[in-house]
């Protein structure tokens, strides 16, 4: 239990000091070159909303955190090679360091700051080099574990959602050849070659492991796809222990009733796009009719079967004000009373010409809009949002040890160990980049077995915060992971660019909120 101290706050407060990752041996053995310590370029300053007299410090790659007075924070900021981020709260501003010398803290505080890495004798170039090594080693450790698999029974879909990143597959005749269903022969080939694939990740064959398979599409749970989905599940169970989850539009879920539940498809993500009337304008059939009523009935059916339902609500500036109405609908259906139900908000990214970027939210922008809306409409508490997710990450900053550190050198599984396998036995790194053989990272072949396209695989798997020059110098890099590669490519045309989405501000706000909650408890 964290407890706020009464009285004067020490310059360096050991109560709020914690180490997540101890110094690697190379950190101490590396020969520093500076005679006077400088502030680490990976120091994260967490100013607090209720006071200007103290702040938290979090180290961006060592994971240490401490609470210090404002004077100590100002001193550290004055010793930075570059201007640190502006404070989030209050009216105070940094002094002009060119003309005002900030007094150093006492020797004990300086020693503590050095021991936690906030002050370093490394030059900026040396620290950058060390960070790249540190992040690269972390990336290698993340790769050498059991892969997880996204299985695409078909590229076909019965809906025509205007913002879909696969929209071209159903509207452009050039992609008509993709609209087929996986065969039993392909399923057999997949399971024949999975052990070969897993050897690349040094998976221990002696351990009894549970493999996770996520069905994705197109729409993976179409009525016509049921035979192959059922065949795949049986084959997977004969191969090892298996867990099945799905991302589905939910329209034909009733055809899978007996395959749902704890021992079948146990988790499903289903999208709702606002109140029923708005949803029925967005998630539509080819003839323009809506889908809300059928999806709602299937959500109820799946919840009763014990399936964990995650209802994703895609939000933009045109439907954000419909959230109170959708919250009321959710409560009318009684879904919020099921422990196996959650619903969360997600921003829409303009992936095609039918989506206007000007109506899309940034994540922090949506956070603030939703918080304001929730104050006015308390029933909106049924929705989780990015602020909740970031607060979970923030809590782990306070709670976790090295074994379950939240730091990551990559943003998602597309850069580590995720394999997306389509109906043609083609293998892709990312589910948003499928259907184009030119970018596949591999293929299962009846004659030659597993074939890996080394160049394409390297393009995906080498994207880390160490390989990106902007990320490598960013104090938030290992908490952010570099952002979504697809969103980066949409914005910049480059897969290896960074996609920040105001992460630094969101992270600092969440750390401050969690600190305040715990200080009051």
pLDDT at 404 over 50: no
b/e map 246-283, b = 16+ CB within 10 Å: bbbbbbbbebbeebbeeebbbbbbbbbbbbbebbbebb
Other Cβ atoms less than 10 A from the Cβ of 54: the count is 21
Residues of the chain with CATH 3.20.20.70: 141-427
- Residue 291's pLDDT band, with cuts at 50, 70 and 90, is very high
pLDDT at res. 10: 39
Angle separating helix axes 226-239 and 184-199, nearest 10 degrees:
40
The average pLDDT across 470-495 equals 95
Q: Is the pTM of this model over 0.75?
A: yes
The mean pLDDT value for 331-344 works out to 97
20 versus 69: which is more confidently predicted?
69
pLDDT (tens digit per residue) in 348-359: 876 555 556 778
Does position 98 have pLDDT exceeding 80, yes or no? no
Q: Can you list the pairs that 324-327 forms with residues at least 24 positions away whose Cβ atoms lie under 8 Å?
A: 324/373, 324/376, 324/377, 324/379, 324/380, 325/274, 325/275, 326/272, 326/274, 326/275, 327/377, 327/379, 327/380, 327/381, 327/382, 327/383
pLDDT value of residue 114: 96
- Residues 160-186: what's their mean pLDDT? 84
pLDDT reading at 157 higher than 70: yes
pLDDT surpassing 60 at residue 24 = no
Give tens-digit pLDDT for 36-66.
Answer: 999 999 999 999 888 888 999 999 999 999 9
Residue 19: which pLDDT band, with cuts at 50, 70 and 90? very low
Q: Residue 12: is its pLDDT beyond 50?
A: no
pLDDT band at 249 (very low <50, low <70, confident <90, very high): very high
203 pLDDT more than 90: no
- Per-residue pLDDT tens digits for 111-147: 999 999 999 999 999 999 999 999 999 998 888 889 9
pLDDT at residue 29, as a whole number: 44
Higher-pLDDT residue of 486, 20 = 486
Q: Is the pLDDT of residue 93 over 80?
A: no
Residue 28 has pLDDT above 70, yes or no: no
Average pLDDT over residues 463-492: 95
Question: Which residues, including other chains, have CB under 8 Å from residue 200's CB and lie 6 or more apart?
Answer: none
Q: What 3-state class would DSSP assign to 349? A: coil
Q: What is the pLDDT of residues 132-141, one digit of tens each?
A: 999 999 998 8
- pLDDT number for residue 129: 95
Q: What whole-number distance in Å separates Cα of residue 68 and Cα of residue 62?
A: 18
Q: What pLDDT does residue 161 have? A: 84
pLDDT grade for 97, boundaries at 50, 70 and 90:
low
Q: Find all residues with CB under 8 Å of 347, minimum gap 6, and list them.
A: 314, 315, 316, 360, 361, 362, 363, 366
More confident residue, 218 or 268: 268
Domain 141-427 matching CATH 3.40.50.720: the answer reads: no
What number is the average pLDDT over the span 82-93?
A: 72
Picking from 412, 409, 365, the residue whose alpha carbon sits closest to that of residue 387 is 365
| Mean per-residue pLDDT of the chain | 88
In percent, the amount of the chain with pLDDT more than 90 equals: 69
Please, which residues have CB within 8 angstroms of residue 184's CB and are 6 or more apart in sequence? 228, 231
185-197 average pLDDT score: 97
Question: Which of 77-91, 240-254, 321-335, 410-424 is predicted least confidently?
Answer: 77-91
């Amino acid at each position: 239990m964290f407890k706020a101290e009464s009285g004067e706050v020490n310059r360096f407060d050991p109560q709020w000091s914690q180490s997540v990752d101890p110094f690697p041996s190379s950190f101490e053995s590396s020969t520093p070159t500076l005679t006077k310590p400088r502030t680490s370029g990976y120091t994260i300053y967490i100013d607090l909303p209720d006071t200007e007299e103290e702040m938290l410090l979090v180290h961006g790659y060592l994971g240490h955190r401490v609470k210090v007075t404002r004077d100590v924070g100002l001193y550290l900021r004055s010793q930075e090679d570059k201007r640190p981020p502006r404070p989030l709260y209050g009216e105070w501003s940094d002094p002009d360091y060119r003309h005002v010398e900030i007094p150093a803290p006492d020797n004990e505080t300086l020693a503590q700051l050095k021991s936690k890495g906030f002050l370093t004798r490394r030059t900026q170039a040396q620290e950058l080099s060390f960070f790249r090594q540190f992040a690269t080693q972390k990336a290698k450790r993340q790769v050498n574990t059991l892969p997880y698999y996204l299985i695409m029974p078909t590229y076909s879909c019965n809906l025509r959602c205007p913002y879909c990143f696969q929209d071209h597959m159903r509207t452009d005749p050039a992609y008509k050849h993709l609209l087929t269903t996986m065969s039993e022969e392909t399923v057999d080939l997949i399971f024949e070659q999975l052990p070969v694939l897993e050897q690349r990740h040094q998976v221990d064959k002696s351990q009894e492991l549970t493999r996770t398979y996520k069905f994705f599409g197109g729409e993976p749970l179409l009525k016509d796809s049921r035979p192959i989905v059922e065949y795949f599940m049986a084959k997977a169970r004969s191969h090892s222990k298996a867990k099945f989850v799905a991302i589905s539009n939910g329209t034909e879920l009733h055809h899978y009733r007996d395959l749902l539940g704890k021992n079948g498809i146990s988790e499903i993500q289903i999208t709702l796009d606002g109140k029923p009337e708005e949803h029925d304008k967005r998630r539509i059939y080819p003839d323009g009719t809506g889908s809300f009523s059928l999806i709602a009935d299937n959500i109820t059916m799946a919840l009763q079967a014990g399936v964990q339902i995650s209802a994703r609500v895609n939000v933009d500036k045109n439907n954000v004000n419909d959230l109170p109405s959708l919250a009321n609908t959710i409560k009318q259906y009684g879904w919020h009373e099921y422990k196996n139900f959650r619903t969360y908000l997600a921003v829409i990214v303009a992936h095609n010409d039918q989506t206007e970027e000007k109506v899309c939210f940034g994540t922090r922008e949506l956070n603030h809009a939703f918080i304001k809306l929730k104050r006015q409409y308390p029933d909106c508490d049924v929705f989780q949002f990015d602020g909740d997710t970031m607060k979970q990450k923030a809590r782990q900053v306070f709670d976790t040890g090295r074994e379950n550190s939240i730091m990551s050198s990559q943003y998602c599984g597309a850069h580590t160990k995720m394999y997306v396998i389509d109906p043609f036995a083609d293998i892709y790194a990312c589910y948003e980049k499928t259907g184009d053989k030119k970018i596949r990272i591999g293929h299962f072949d009846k004659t030659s077995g597993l074939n890996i396209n080394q160049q394409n695989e390297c393009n995906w798997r080498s994207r880390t915060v160490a390989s990106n020059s902007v990320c490598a110098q960013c104090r938030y890099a290992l908490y952010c992971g570099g952002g979504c590669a697809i969103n980066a490519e949409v914005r910049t045309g480059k897969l290896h660019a960074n996609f920040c989405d105001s992460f630094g501000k969101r992270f600092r706000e969440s750390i401050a909120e969690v600190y305040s909650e715990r200080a009051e408890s």
